[in-house]
């Protein structure tokens, strides 16, 4: 998971790890830049990242438990 935690090319989003090892993807935007278009853009980025990384993350997570 280190690979996704240190990604820096994720516009308005970031990965983080919870206390129990869960990985979270969150969107962030400064209040002064909060517009419908900006929210739409960040949701699009989150969708794209989830689509790209989810299956690989599931394979890694379940491979560790086997």
pLDDT surpassing 80 at residue 7: no
- The strand ranges marked E within 1-66 are 13-17, 23-27
Quick one: pLDDT at residue 40? 92
Query: What does pTM read for this prediction?
Result: 0.63
Question: Residue 16 in contact with residue 24, Cβ under 8 Å?
Answer: yes
**What is the Cα–Cα distance from 5 to 24, expressed in whole angstroms?**
9
Question: Residue 1 in contact with residue 32, Cβ under 8 Å?
Answer: no
Quick one: pLDDT at residue 52? 82
Residue range 14-50, pLDDT digits in tens = 888 888 878 788 888 889 988 999 989 988 988 888 8
Residues forming a β-bridge with 27: 13
Quick one: pLDDT at residue 35? 92
């Amino acid at each position: 998971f280190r690979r996704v935690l240190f990604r820096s090319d994720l516009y308005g989003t970031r990965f983080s790890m919870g206390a129990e090892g869960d990985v979270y993807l969150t969107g962030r935007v400064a209040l002064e830049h909060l517009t419908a278009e900006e929210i739409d853009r960040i949701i699009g980025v989150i969708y794209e990242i989830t689509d790209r990384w989810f299956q690989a993350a599931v394979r890694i997570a379940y491979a560790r438990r086997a």
